[in-house]
Amino acid sequence: MNIRFMAAALAAASMLGSITPAFADTELKIFVSSQHQPDVWRKVLDKYEAANPGVKVAIETGGNTSEAQAQYLNTVMSAKDPNLDILMLDVIRPAQYAAAGWTSSFEGKDMSVYLPAYVEANTVDGKIVALPAFADAMFLYYRKDLLDKYGIAPPKTWEELAAATKKIAEGEKNPELQGLSFQGKAIEGAVCTFLLPYWSQGKNLVENGKLTFDHDAAVTALKLWKDFVDTGVAKKNIAEVATDDTRKEFQAGSAAFAVNWSYAWTHFQGAESVVAGKVGVTRLPALGGGEQASCLGGWEWGVSAYSTHQEEAKKLVEYLTSEDVSVFMAANGSLLPTYAAAYKNSEVLKAVPWFADALQVVETAKSRPVTPRYNEVSEVIRTTVNAVLAGVTTPEDGASQIEARLKRILR
């Protein structure tokens, strides 16, 4: 455990309410998504407990996808269950939860310390409804050893990536090695799968709350991924692959390239990884002569409106979103910081050197459509992407279906 972090953590926790005996016998429960380093968050919470003897914090984990987590939390919140005090929410959820009255707002919080994208994501009608746990964006992971072996530069376009996978496949002659793993299952990740090449063509889906759907760009985007399946760049059953499946496949040495979020890096370098020390990270490719685009991710801490420990829960969230904790989680859990200065922190860069180039990606990553009806928008896109990849519908018909359904939702 980093000594400097321990001291800073204790100091931060003290400033947030432990100078005097605080909230005796308070027990808080915090929900953390299972794939976002709950063991590392536990170390952070242990320090908070040490500085606040009257407070105990239990972690509840669940769900390997954003949808599974939201389904569970929606059930808990709909029942007005006071059992959970603090919720880790996907960046697309705070506005929805606030609109439903499920989260409490933070009064007088200075949000200027955070990256602007997360100020926007957590501010609804002028109220701060959640605070940023960590930033995120999609990146392209690649087998550095294989690219070096075949004299291939990290691809800047999807076309270059396809050519690279062909060259590697011809050289390796390994039927178990797929070219590219990405999210084709009907999960939130499939929304980003669709949007990456769509955005790369300079198109937006929604502007000022109005649908700006470009049918031809949508066909091109869907066709890119389907062609990857048909030509062997991706495996035939990519429609069954979720986010953590991609992480596991690449970690097992079963893919030359992978589209994934920052959390995967720590796993790729772990003791159980076949590819430890062989992984490179770069920006996602562009489509043809288009722009390189990434999908903005990130997770937020919200306080349940039904918690019976409002003040204590908010103090804990303030601590969890402090710069010291952000640095610690970056260095120890490869979770991207929500503070710009942390991307230059020596401790962070020693642990995760590629974070030096990550700030620009996060700052320029594009947000998924901002609308109170996002759940419906998401379902339309992810189920259609999945159907195209499974061969149930064509890219042309898929684009038409998305357009027709979104017109009904975003009238």
Average pLDDT, integer, range 78-89: 97
pLDDT of residue 21: 45
Distance CA 405, CA 79 (A): 30
Could you give phi then psi for residue 143, rounded to 5 degrees?
-80, 100
Q: Has residue 105 got a pLDDT over 90?
A: yes
pLDDT tens for each residue of 221-254: 999 999 999 999 999 999 999 999 999 999 999 9
Q: Are 236 and 245 in contact (CB under 8 A)?
A: no
C-alpha angle with apex 333: 317 to 252, nearest 5 degrees? 140
Q: Is 235 strand, coil or helix?
A: coil
Global pTM? Answer: 0.86
The amino acid present at 87, given as its one-letter code, is L
For CA atoms 66, 72, 74, 77, give the dihedral sign: negative
Q: Which H or E element spans position 284? A: none
pLDDT tens for each residue of 177-236: 999 999 999 999 999 999 999 999 999 998 887 899 999 999 999 999 999 999 999 999
CA 208 distance to own-chain centroid:
24
The confidence band for 2, taking pLDDT boundaries of 50, 70 and 90, is low
Q: Which H or E element spans position 233? A: none
pLDDT of residue 7: 53
pLDDT of residue 35: 85
The confidence band for 369, taking pLDDT boundaries of 50, 70 and 90, is confident
The amino acid present at 4, given as its one-letter code, is R
Angle between helices 66-78 and 188-200 (to 10 degrees): 130
Which residues sit opposite 84 in a β-bridge?
A: none
Q: Could you tell me the CA-to-CA distances from 188 to 66, 289, 368 in Å, in that order?
A: 7, 27, 10
pLDDT of residue 17: 45
- Work out the burial of residue 116: count CB atoms within 10 Å of its CB; fewer than 13 is exposed, 13-18 middle, 19 or more buried: exposed
The confidence band for 9, taking pLDDT boundaries of 50, 70 and 90, is low
Q: Are 366 and 121 in contact (CB under 8 A)?
A: no
Q: Are 88 and 36 in contact (CB under 8 A)?
A: yes
pLDDT of residue 273: 98
Q: Has residue 333 got a pLDDT over 60?
A: yes
List Cβ<8 Å contacts ≥24 apart for 163-172: 164/256, 164/257, 165/232, 165/233, 165/256, 165/257, 166/233, 168/143, 168/256, 169/232, 172/146
Q: How many other CB atoms sit within 10 Å of the CB of residue 207?
A: 9
Domains with residue ranges and CATH for the chain: 3-129+297-364 (3.40.190.10), 137-295+369-409 (3.40.190.10)
Tokens of 153: 């530069």
Tokens of 36: 């976002």
The confidence band for 4, taking pLDDT boundaries of 50, 70 and 90, is low
Average pLDDT, integer, range 272-295: 96
pLDDT of residue 295: 96
Please state, rounded to an integer, the average pLDDT across all residues of the chain. 93
Which residues sit opposite 59 in a β-bridge?
A: 30
pLDDT tens for each residue of 118-146: 999 999 889 999 999 999 999 999 999 99
Tokens of 156: 């800047």
Average pLDDT, integer, range 17-22: 44
Q: Which H or E element spans position 43? A: helix 38-51
Tokens of 322: 């402090």
Q: Has residue 258 got a pLDDT over 90?
A: yes
Average pLDDT, integer, range 389-401: 98
